Structure 1
Amino acid sequence: MGRMHADEHAIDTTLVRRLVRGQFPRWADLPVTPLASGGTVNAVYHLGDDLTVRLPLTSGGASDITKERRALGALGELPVAVPDVVAVGEPAEDYPWPWAVHGWLDGTPAREGRDAPARDLAEFVRALRAHPADGPPTRRGKPLADVDTATRRAIEELRGTDEPFDAEAALAAWTEAFDAPPWTGPPCRLHGDLMPGNLLLRDGRLSGVLDWATAGVGDPAIDLIPAWNLLTADTRPAFRDAVGDDDATWARGRGRALSMAVIQLPYYRHTNPVISANARYVLTELGVLTRSR
């Protein structure tokens, strides 16, 4: 992993130990181990056997600590485990933002193109949507118009790279999704970031879902993105059948997957191999990248 953001704060094991020791002395003697992660917002460390420490990398991610705590506190029963927020730390030790300690969830992060429980994913999405959802759409629950400019700009940026990318096909796919009928139903409860690394598997089943900072309400299409960032052409139909969405919602979900991938790839292609590989996978599944790299 390279430095991903120009304003990224330097975080290492020594800093995490100092923060924990200073604010939560009951955990001062627990081992601190960095976790390999494709995450772009937080540095994550394993604390002892049962805890994780999450520290925002930039000021833009600092507000996510409060958002995630609120989102997790509002959840009712789900068919999979979600993290418990065990504690929230304060700025200290030259670290300028709040940080969080979560309960550890066992499981292996999902990987794109591997066997994945399509029907378990659909069950989770349906169960989350069944939760009460009030208020205006949150950022990832808004119409595709909200990301139209950024998506088109990213397509043009990718056109100028050495990626085997078909910009005209991408524009056509984006236009098709953009022109799909908008969501007119009541707001749905959303996770908003169902990337493979946020989906934990045990014994071939979906066992947990991480990273709730983008959770909110709005258009349910955003939570269809695992159809393209995780599943294959063979397993995608089972997910679509089980989740039960209409053609327009499916089209908007495909547009969301495309938008995220074309924005991620030029930004992370030299600094985050996990995210850039996943973006290439999405674009290959959508037929706008001619081969994986």
Structure 2
Amino acid sequence: MTMHDDQVDVTTHVVATLIREQFPQWHGRVIRPVASTGTVHAIFRVGDDLSARFPLRPADAGEALEALEREARASAELAQVSRFPVPEPVALGKPGAGYPMPWSVQTWLPGTTAFDADPSGSDAFAEDLAAFVAALRTAGTKGRRFSGENRGGVLAHHDDWMAKCFEESEGLLDVPRLRRMWSRFRELPRTGAEVMSHGDLIPGNVLVAGGRLGGVLDTGGFGPADPALDLVSAWHLLRSGPREVLRRALVRDDLEWERGKAWAFEQAMGLVWYYVESNPAMSAMGRRTLDRLLGSKE
């Protein structure tokens, strides 16, 4: 599925060639593409216990390598504090076989994502999710501060992006009502110090087993951010009852809870229009989150 105009094509043949040339110890393992709603990487299983991840959008090779190295360090750090299974970094590959960028190898984590095993009505899952978020917060930022332009910094810094989202969403969503919501959200002050956060707790990054949290994927964004950021999970993943279970377990005050809603809103607005044709599952997830925020859906 092509999701971006500038997307880099990655095939099983390319992956097998890269493995053979750069990691001959894994040559001969079965290479299988992984069907995914993910929008950043093409993912391939390498045998039974590894996965190879290939950035989908072109970037300078040196900058891409630095990003992958940062992600590997972040993933390894998160693994030290999570009691739930998470992928761990194994190796970094180089450009080759027609693929123009570095790529990464991680341990493979079996399970079913929350897209396919909806845990939204499970209080037990909400308790697990709260335990995961609380554990990340205990890691401590070690003096680091939020850096970058993505979610987790200052809400009002996203005004230009939101303006584009509102423009692109005409005909898809109730834009006047959503503009009013953003005008309130963007003004919410932050009072808490930054904490360590996963940063992208959406259904595709969460594994479910028996209605419980079975593991967490895409951990390379682990880092300091607004303490409300991981509260997006309350709206992306949970119905109203379990959502309150998560809130009570994390002991979040009204202001931080509202900021969590604001970050979920910012993310959902971009998902609906950008992926409406290229990734309908992600677009539908954005709509569902907005419905929850608007109170029209549990």
TM-score, normalising length from structure 1? 0.91
In structure 2, the partner of 1:173 is 181
Matched position secondary structure for 1:197: helix
Worse-matched range after superposition: 273-282 or 111-120: 111-120
Matched position secondary structure for 1:59: coil
Structure 2 CA distance for aligned equivalents of residues 181 and 246 of structure 1? 13
Structure 2 CA distance for aligned equivalents of residues 114 and 46 of structure 1? 28
Structure 1, residues 217-264: CA drift from partner, whole Å, max 9, x if none?
Answer: 021111011111111122211111111111111111101111111112
**Ranges in structure 2 where 5+ consecutive residues have no aligned partner:** none
In structure 2, the partner of 1:58 is 57
Select which of 137, 140, 147 maps to 1:138: 147
**8 Å contact kept, 2:199–2:221:** yes
Structure 2 CA distance for aligned equivalents of residues 198 and 11 of structure 1? 21
Select which of 117, 126, 130 maps to 2:134: 126
Structure 1 CA distance for aligned equivalents of residues 282 and 164 of structure 2? 19
**8 Å contact kept, 2:33–2:43:** yes
Worse-matched range after superposition: 91-100 or 169-178: 169-178
In structure 2, the partner of 1:67 is 70
In structure 1, the partner of 2:20 is 21
Structure 2 CA distance for aligned equivalents of residues 259 and 220 of structure 1? 16
In structure 2, the partner of 1:148 is 159
**How do residues 183-198 of structure 1 correspond to structure 2 at under 5 angstroms?**
184-198=191-205
Amino acid at match of 2:72: R
In structure 2, the partner of 1:287 is 294
Structure 2 CA distance for aligned equivalents of residues 187 and 225 of structure 1? 16
Aligned identity (percent) is: 39
**Ranges in structure 1 where 5+ consecutive residues have no aligned partner:** none
In structure 1, the partner of 2:216 is 209
Matched position secondary structure for 2:73: helix
Amino acid at match of 1:69: A
Matched position secondary structure for 1:106: coil
In structure 2, the partner of 1:234 is 241
Amino acid at match of 1:87: A
Matched position secondary structure for 2:8: coil
**Structure 1 residue ranges (4+ consecutive) displaced by more than 4 angstroms after TM superposition:** none
Higher relative contact order (CA 8 A, sep 6+): 1
1:30 aligns with 2:29: yes
Select which of 76, 101, 120 maps to 2:105: 101
Matched position secondary structure for 2:10: coil
Matched position secondary structure for 1:142: coil
Matched position secondary structure for 2:104: strand
C-alpha RMSD of the superposition: 1.9
**8 Å contact kept, 1:154–1:262:** yes
Question: How many residues were matched structurally?
Answer: 285
Structure 1, residues 174-221: CA drift from partner, whole Å, max 9, x if none?
Answer: 222222221x33320011111111111122211211112322202111
Shift of 1:114: 4.0
Structure 2 CA distance for aligned equivalents of residues 273 and 31 of structure 1? 29
Matched position secondary structure for 1:9: coil
Structure 2 CA distance for aligned equivalents of residues 186 and 224 of structure 1? 15
Structure 2 CA distance for aligned equivalents of residues 213 and 45 of structure 1? 17
Matched position secondary structure for 2:294: coil
1:110 aligns with 2:114: yes
1:85 aligns with 2:89: yes
**8 Å contact kept, 2:192–2:227:** no
Structure 1, residues 87-142: CA drift from partner, whole Å, max 9, x if none?
Answer: 11111111111111110112211135744411111111111011120222133320
**8 Å contact kept, 2:68–2:103:** yes
